[in-house]
Amino acid sequence: MRTSVVVASLGLAAMLASCSLSNNNESALPRAAEHSVSRYVYVGNADPPSIGVFRLRDRGNHTPEQIIAGNRTRLHGPSGLAFDSQANLYVSDCCIRFGGRILVYKAGATGNVPPIRQITGTPDGLLINSAIAVDAEDYLYVASTDHILVFAPGAHGIATPVRDVTGPLTGVNQVEGIALDTAGDLFAVDRLNSAVLEFTPGANGNVAPIAVISGSKTHLDFPELINVSPTGDLYVTEESDVLEFAAGSNGNVRPRHIIATEGVTPLSNAPVIGGHMYVGYLSSSSGGYGIGVYSTSDDGPSLPVRSIKGDRTGLGEPNSVAIR
């Protein structure tokens, strides 16, 4: 989606070795049942393709706790991350010769490991996919340009969506980012119309959204990605900032905060936990990549309270971030 840099394969090999990775699904991290709080930041890197895992409080030139990378992973260009109720990791992987796909890795997967299953297309043809989300019942939502596809739990291979939000009433024209709130409402950012759309749980077909954030006061200008905070606030990533809208926002409303990421270009969605927002970025001065951690109370030009950056991090075009 944006300009990337080439990272030498020897560097990735050294990273894998330094993390003491194995060729199986055994993990050094606690299993799903032991995760009482969110403690890890998962980062989807496009160049080279990998998933890096950091502790929530990591900073500086920190080696990731885990890396999923290598030819067996089938990763080509991660563009979205999500987890199901069993802590299995879903990766939206795009831009390969035969279209996109959704790769699913077992909870705790690490190293050069294959996915346990994958969705490679629909009966209508190739899968075009960007951001993804998984609801409390493990239904998978996929942003697919002018469609939002919903797949049943366990879907694999050539899979038929159980729901498809599409049509002129929906306002879904060029959707890259989607997210779900705790009630199951579906949020989507439409880049073509510079709008945030909200749909009821179970929305299907050519249905109108129940709320639309759009207009001159919103500061929306080619929005790309979206996250919903635990309190229902919306964080919308644009090309130079992240806009925060209060829960329940609708119409031509001003954002509560405009977090202008000074000196860096945001590349990823921006998940929130504990009053902090995590976002992948490209440095305007050095051309290096990092993960910036910003206070959610910031407004205007903002510097991160801490960053993960440097050659030991393995970060390369970090287009997607998730917290588990």
The model's pLDDT over 79-104, given as tens digits with 9 standing for 90+, comes to 999 999 999 999 999 865 567 999 99
Place of tokens 């207009």: 215
Summarised one tens digit per residue, pLDDT across range 241-286 is: 999 999 999 999 999 999 999 999 999 999 999 999 999 999 999 9
Residue 1 in domain: no
| Tens-place pLDDT, residues 224-241 | 999 999 999 999 999 899
Dist. CA 59–CA 292, nearest whole Å? 9
Q: Are 132 and 92 in contact (CB under 8 A)?
A: yes
Q: Is-contact 256 247, C-beta < 8 A? A: no
Parent domain of 279: 9-19+38-323
Asked, for residue 4, whether it belongs to a domain, the answer is: no
Judge whether residue 132 has pLDDT over 50. yes
Question: What was the pLDDT predicted at 37?
Answer: 55
Whether residue 2 lies inside any domain: the answer is no
Domain presence at residue 97: yes
Residue 34 in 3-state DSSP? helix
Could you tell me the two tokens for 161?
Answer: 């969506």
Instruction: Kindly state whether residue 318 falls inside one of the protein's structural domains.
Output: yes
The amino acid present at 6, given as its one-letter code, is V
Instruction: Measure the CA dihedral 250/252/256/261, to 10°.
Output: 120
Identify whether the C-beta of residue 94 lies closer than 8 Å to the C-beta of residue 130: yes
Q: How many domains does the chain have?
A: 1
pLDDT (0 to 100) of residue 99: 76
pLDDT given at position 94: 83
The backbone region for 114, taken as left when phi is positive above 0, alpha when psi lies in -120 to 50, beta otherwise, is: beta
Mention every residue, 6+ apart, whose C-beta is less than 8 A from residue 181. Answer: 187, 228, 232
Cβ atoms of 43 and 51 closer than 8 Å: yes
Residue 147 has pLDDT above 60, yes or no: yes
**Domain contains 26:** no
Q: What is the pLDDT of residue 33?
A: 34
Inside any domain, residue 25:
no
Q: Which of 24-33, 225-234, 282-291 has the lowest mean pLDDT?
A: 24-33
DSSP state of 161: -
User: Is residue 28 in a domain?
Assistant: no
Reply yes or no on whether the pLDDT at 32 is more than 50: no
CATH number at residue 141: 2.120.10.30
Name the least confident of 87-96, 186-195, 210-219, 228-237.
87-96
Q: What is the pLDDT of residue 20?
A: 44
Global model pTM greater than 0.85: yes
